[in-house]
Structure 1
Amino acid sequence: MAERTPTKPLLRDRDFLRFWGGETVSLAGAQVAELGLMLVAVITLSAGPFEIGLFNVARYSPVVVSLLVGVWFDRHRRRQALVISNLGRAALVALVPLAAVTDILSMGLLYAIGFLLGLLTVVFDVGSLSYVPSLVERDRLAEANGRIQTSYSVAGIAGPGLAGALIGLLTAPFALLVTSASYVVSAVSMAFIRRPEPDPPPPEPGVSVRASIAEGLRAVFGDRVLRNLATQSATFNLFENVVTTLFAVYAVRHLGLGVGQLGFVIGAGAVGALTGAVVCTRLTGKLGLGRALRLATLLACVSPVALVAPGDASPAALGVLAGGLAVHGFALAVFNVNALTLRQCVTPTRLLGRMNASYRLLLFGTIPLGALLGGALAAAFGLRTGLIIGVAGLAVPMAWLFFSPVYRLVSIPEPPGESSADESEPGSPPAPGRKDRETDYVV
């Protein structure tokens, strides 16, 4: 047998560092855009609640094209699309200050920019999730995902403060130039990646886009591991968005928290997420994959009880709220890193784009549903009761602990044979061997 080439340490892998650095810079810029675009609408254009609602619809509606984007990525190289989508986002964001200077800025233009920006973000997100497995070795995939999750957490901690400072210094439209520059830096960084990306297998003759989409959906729902991950995560996200929709309003109106106190509490969640992302690989190595996911699920589902326990804004109450969100953020980071790595490893390379697109559509589709449900509950029963119902609903995903094969996994299963997967006929069920790896389960 040939000797195995030692795996290069991830932090000495220049190509991964270029990708990770570009991703981190763009995430920081996106935080500035998140607040900046909203303030452009509210302050510069004096938009009302209805117009803000339309703007958010424009930003998030492109998620419906995720499945088509997934098909495209399974037929083309991914890195080039990441570079182009970042350059496109840079140009779109730069249009806002340009329109402000030329006095042509309007809500109609902002709707169009929001829609196109959302579309390119779908392209970038699906592409990056599908690209990482071809950039790093399989035994470094969990570490790579952990470091990317760390970047998300750091952006969540530092981003709002950075955005506020820049907007205060430059005004909202011109602060967006920082976001535009961050996307350019990210594109350049990824353009200098030298590791060759393998050519995707050509599509089989006569296979339509519709059949390709259906194959991607079967890759998720035809596999026990992926199906259970998807349905549990979608259920969790539904009630998570009920809670996040109501908590800020509840904290201010019912508990009497000030803006600074609310920022402290929410920031604790981001700090917990950062901690979880940093220790995830070590924790999973000690507990095993299934036990680490079980612990993360329990903590993520139970910790929001702390949000409805306090009755005022006393220091003790702030400690309970911050502690609950810190534990919640920690658990979500541990779960997300492991779940993403598991998804990437059990999916054939040729289906990564469609698998990630199917996941994104399912998980992101629950965001507006959860928000609508939260608003309906608050209108019908009041803020506190609506929040309690949302927190109680977060216990539902714990039911998966009793039957999901995910929680019996000792480690990441070996990936299915690409050859057998590629030889299967369109419309056939997923190749066996992904379903019944009992040796990978805790027994």
Structure 2
Amino acid sequence: MRVPWFWKVPAVPTTESVALGPLSQSWRQDFRRRWAAFAVSEFGGALGYSAMPIVAVLVLGASDFQVSLLTVAAGVVSAVVALPLGPWIEHRRKVPVMVATDLLRFVAIASVPVAAYYGVLTYWHLCVVAVVEMAARMAFDSAGLAQLRALVPAERRAEANGRFETTMWTVNAVGPPTGGFLISWLGPTVTMALDAVSFLVSAVTLRGLSASEVAPPARSGAHHWLRDATTGWRYIFARRGLAALFWNSMIFGGCILAAVPLLAVFVLRDLGFSPWQYGLIGGVSSVAGILGSVLVMPIRRRIGENRVLLFGGVGRNLWLGLIPLATGATSGLVMITAAHFLLYLFAGIFSPTFATYRMNATDDAHMSRVVMAWSIANKVVQPAFIAAAGVLAAITSARTALAVLAAILLTGILLLPWRPDPGPELVSDGGRDLASAAPRPR
């Protein structure tokens, strides 16, 4: 059965026989360790998610502006700091980089409770820690996704990414409430200490990986720092499918993060719902994300990876527009909750499929730089969306700003890989090419 062009997903040939090498025999055991390290560090990060701004407010007496600056500046400055790291990581073995960045995060975050204990903690200390933690996170992800690509056989990548996605949503559902309880019980600095320990445990777990890494790609003789630093973006924009998904993800991430503070204002102040009702919306979102990540493999087996990518990509961009239509009645709360549930359900379906596509569409010699370019762009674009939406809400209203974000989000549907790249369609899907991956007529 021939696959219509609008269901095809563009891709490039992969080099699995070269990439896997000695990893192919022991990948399952190492994957379990890699997965455990991810779960531990994500849970620690979720515990400490609110701890740093609480430390800034309660321990240092920081102003509202300083708390906002701590988050925004950390994102922008860390993007600048991380810019030259992509090429450097690309030509290094990835596991040592991951261990080093975990240890760096452990030291940086642990320095906060230590400094607070001795009474020498300052606001600028927190700023430095926030920048270091965020830059180290980007470096870890850049190395980690390249390592995961080499570790997991192509036909199992979708399943592996689905497990990571389910873990992330589960941790985000359980971690923040647990962190809030620990902050209330033990205090924010002790909670940050627990967050730091999670990165130490992750580093020790990663050190236990049994297989030897494949040698990283060699650096060419002629290179220039600016050209090397921008290689990730040039690789993305030279490939129609990756470029489409890049712009789609910038729009989605920017709009969703900009909507978060506006939603709190809209639900709590404008519509007059109670905090527990607002919390219900967030809880439903986490459940929807978990459900989507669990459903992605059965859906993928039924309709194929290509259709899942488009199905999830369209679905996650549709539902934000329901929120500004809500009223202060119970039906309004139901509408907002349903919109959030559907949005995050489709996001849970889309994200692991997208991660698998990006792994398959990027070769070994560019994976770290592509991931780093993606992360840096997010750190610049998302604060710009948040700031612009905040200004718009101040001039008009939270409802209007949410409606504008919903309209912008709809444009992201056009920025999905509806047309394939020219050339052979060789992306792996369980060992089959794209045509054979399409569902057979019954």
Q: Please give the range of the TM-score, normalised by the shorter of the 2 chains.
A: 0.7 to 0.9
Distance 1:411 1:259 in 2: 50
The answer to whether the aligner puts 1:168 opposite 2:189 as a matched pair is: no
| 1:237-270 deviations in Å (ceiling 9; x for gaps) | 2322332231111111111122221111011111
| 2:419 partner amino acid | P
Distance 1:282 1:49, change over 3 A: same
Counterpart position of 1:424: none
Counterpart position of 1:188: 204
Distance 1:411 1:320, change over 3 A: farther
The answer to whether the aligner puts 1:395 opposite 2:406 as a matched pair is: no
Instruction: Give the alignment of 1:411-430 within 5 angstroms.
Output: 413-414=427-428
Matched residue of 1:374: which SS?
helix
Distance 2:140 2:80 in 1: 15
Aligned-pair CA distance for 1:289: 2.2
Counterpart position of 2:44: 29
Counterpart position of 1:258: 274
Query: Normalising by structure 1, what TM-score?
Result: 0.87
Distance 1:351 1:407, change over 3 A: closer
Which of 70, 86, 93 lines up with 1:55 in the alignment? 70
Matched residue of 2:78: which SS?
helix
The answer to whether the aligner puts 1:106 opposite 2:122 as a matched pair is: yes
Counterpart position of 2:235: 219
The answer to whether the aligner puts 1:377 opposite 2:377 as a matched pair is: no
Distance 1:301 1:161 in 2: 28
Instruction: Give the alignment of 1:120-159 within 5 angstroms.
Output: 120-159=136-175
Distance 2:152 2:309 in 1: 23
Distance 1:438 1:141, change over 3 A: closer
Counterpart position of 2:336: 321
Counterpart position of 1:14: 29
Contact 1:133 1:344 in 2 (8 A): yes
| 1:163 partner amino acid | G
Contact 1:239 1:394 in 2 (8 A): yes
| 1:276-309 deviations in Å (ceiling 9; x for gaps) | 1112122112112232122212221112133223
Distance 1:438 1:156, change over 3 A: closer
Matched residue of 1:99: which SS?
helix
Distance 1:409 1:97, change over 3 A: farther
Matched residue of 1:308: which SS?
helix
Query: Normalising by structure 2, what TM-score?
Result: 0.87
Counterpart position of 1:84: 100
Distance 2:255 2:129 in 1: 30
Distance 1:45 1:155 in 2: 29
Moved more, 163-172 or 250-259: 250-259
Contact 2:427 2:434 in 1 (8 A): no
Contact 1:154 1:270 in 2 (8 A): yes
| 1:263 partner amino acid | G
Aligned-pair CA distance for 1:78: 0.7
Contact 1:310 1:321 in 2 (8 A): yes
Which of 308, 331, 340 lines up with 2:346 in the alignment? 331
| 1:127-165 deviations in Å (ceiling 9; x for gaps) | 212211112111111111111111110111001111011
Aligned-pair CA distance for 1:409: 13
The answer to whether the aligner puts 1:405 opposite 2:419 as a matched pair is: yes
| Unaligned runs of at least 5 residues, structure 1 | 416-436
Which of 195, 207, 214 lines up with 1:179 in the alignment? 195
Counterpart position of 2:4: none
Distance 1:440 1:220 in 2: 27
Counterpart position of 2:6: none
Contact 2:241 2:421 in 1 (8 A): no
Contact 2:30 2:210 in 1 (8 A): yes
Aligned-pair CA distance for 1:439: 5.8
| 1:266 partner amino acid | G
Contact 2:326 2:335 in 1 (8 A): yes
Which of 198, 205, 220 lines up with 2:221 in the alignment? 205
Distance 1:410 1:296 in 2: 25
Counterpart position of 1:430: none
| Unaligned runs of at least 5 residues, structure 2 | 1-16
Distance 1:400 1:365, change over 3 A: same
Distance 1:214 1:223, change over 3 A: same
The answer to whether the aligner puts 1:367 opposite 2:377 as a matched pair is: no
| 1:48 partner amino acid | S
| 2:181 partner amino acid | A
Distance 1:353 1:320 in 2: 41
Distance 1:407 1:196, change over 3 A: same
Distance 1:56 1:148 in 2: 26
| 1:313-334 deviations in Å (ceiling 9; x for gaps) | 52x4333222211111111122
Aligned residues: 414
| 1:220-243 deviations in Å (ceiling 9; x for gaps) | 100111111112222222322332
Distance 1:34 1:318, change over 3 A: same
Identity of aligned residues (%): 24
Counterpart position of 1:428: none
Aligned-pair CA distance for 1:438: 8.8
Distance 1:407 1:386 in 2: 36
The structure showing larger relative contact order (alpha-carbon pairs under 8 Å, at least 6 residues apart) is 2
| 1:362 partner amino acid | A
| 1:24-62 deviations in Å (ceiling 9; x for gaps) | 111111112221111000111111112112211342121
Distance 2:191 2:257 in 1: 29
Which of 274, 281, 303 lines up with 2:297 in the alignment? 281
The answer to whether the aligner puts 1:270 opposite 2:286 as a matched pair is: yes
Distance 1:203 1:397, change over 3 A: same
Counterpart position of 1:46: 61
Distance 1:130 1:255 in 2: 46
